Structure 1
């Protein structure tokens, strides 16, 4: 009856029991009937629209808009007064519709002007201000997902949906992790950026709780991944998920002439013993067992 996009909005709104909520969405979900239904439910809604879904309201065309100054806006209301359509001229025409707000109280925003090569102030309708504020989280999420999206060759929509869901989960987890770090007073330098966070999650899934993968003997096959030589004297500390998983942490002698500094906290000893899984040196002495303490 309402179409796929509006039906999704109405389905999600079933959980909204209290009145007075504000709801924002983009043009894929917008329709005239949807705004009417949401108004009957006392939910304030606004979003960008596609003109052909609103019976082509009498707003100025993009060609006419080029003759107007930047920041010009036009408001058109439905006959029953339930829906307001606003067209705002920024770099290009932007059309929005709402069941509770139109041009309203305009404010000033700075925009880059190519002709004068400087920032200028243009008027902005209230509906655009509220929409930008409400959609900021969604736009930011889309931007972050696009930075390191999981690449998949398959054209099957099921696989694409699964990997897109993984991207959404990782980005949302990183946003919560960053917010928790700020609230707990963690220095900004100690908070992982999105790429390091993704790498840490990936390595945790690959290595945590898994036994050591022994290297195969003989020549590598032609389809195997290339092997890159490790830099000398380069030890990286394992992630906590790998360090504490209690799986296959086996000691081995490095066979070097000189011992390497123990990586246990507050230990100044040197050792030839290293953990095969964590790939860090740890000492085992009569009065001190850093190998065991490191993995607790």
Structure 2
């Protein structure tokens, strides 16, 4: 993190919360933001970036339990909570300030039943919708980079 001193330049208030996507997310980044800058975070994280910091249920086990099931593990050493949640596919979340509770119910469309159903969700959906919307808009309006020789 020595080369990333300007990362939270625009964030001056300690105790603020940042929500971001999984592209650069690691448990070390979450801990660094919390310890050095006082910035809490909630983000999606790729399973291969957990570096064995916790043992979660496998994807197959969550799928057997059904849509809306989740499992969480708290890593006391790194002071983060890791949550695996099964919606259409398994989503892995990392948070430095809260856990999966309180669970809220959200409405999803079930292709098998051909109707809307109620699914349990950790508090992730409340805040990550803006990040997902931003990613979608960037993909829609991406400018092409052209160069001339």
What RMSD over aligned residues (CA atoms) do the two structures have, in Å?
2.3
**3-state DSSP of counterpart to 1:23:** strand
Residues 1:98 and 2:92 are matched in the alignment: no
Distance in 1, matches of 2:98 and 2:55, equals 18
**2:74–2:82 Cα contact (<8 Å) kept:** yes
Cα 1:37/1:108, change in 2 over 3 Å: same
Cα 1:47/1:67, change in 2 over 3 Å: same
Distance in 2, matches of 1:143 and 1:121, equals 29
**3-state DSSP of counterpart to 1:66:** helix
Bigger relative contact order, structure 1 or 2, given CA contacts below 8 A and separation 6+?
Answer: 2
Deviation digits for residues 245-271 of structure 1 (CA, Å, limit 9, x no counterpart): xxxxxxxxxxxxxxxxxxxxxxxxxxx
**3-state DSSP of counterpart to 2:127:** helix
2:48 corresponding residue in structure 1: 52
2:34 corresponding residue in structure 1: 39
Cα 1:112/1:14, change in 2 over 3 Å: same
Distance in 2, matches of 1:81 and 1:19, equals 19
Tell me the CA shift for residue 81 of structure 1. Answer: 6.0
Residues 1:86 and 2:83 are matched in the alignment: yes
Tell me the CA shift for residue 151 of structure 1. Answer: 5.1
**2:105–2:119 Cα contact (<8 Å) kept:** yes
Distance in 2, matches of 1:151 and 1:80, equals 44
Deviation digits for residues 109-164 of structure 1 (CA, Å, limit 9, x no counterpart): 111111111110101101332222x415523422541xxx5556x5xxxx4xxxxx
> Which consecutive residues of structure 1, in runs of 5 or more, have no partner in the other structure?
160-296
Residues 1:124 and 2:121 are matched in the alignment: yes
Match among 3, 9, 14 for residue 14 of structure 1: 9
Matches within 5 A, 1:134-153: 134-145=130-141, 149-150=142-143
Larger % of strand: which?
Answer: 2
Match among 60, 72, 76 for residue 75 of structure 1: 72
**1:46–1:96 Cα contact (<8 Å) kept:** yes
Runs of 4+ in structure 1 deviating by more than 3 angstroms, as ranges, are 149-152
Which entry has the higher C-alpha Rg, 1 or 2?
Answer: 1
Larger % of helix: which?
Answer: 1
1:61 corresponding residue in structure 2: 58
Count of aligned residue pairs for this structure pair: 145
**1:111–1:121 Cα contact (<8 Å) kept:** yes
**1:39–1:82 Cα contact (<8 Å) kept:** no
Give the alignment's TM-score, normalised by structure 1.
Answer: 0.45
Distance in 1, matches of 2:102 and 2:78, equals 19
> Which consecutive residues of structure 2, in runs of 5 or more, have no partner in the other structure?
none
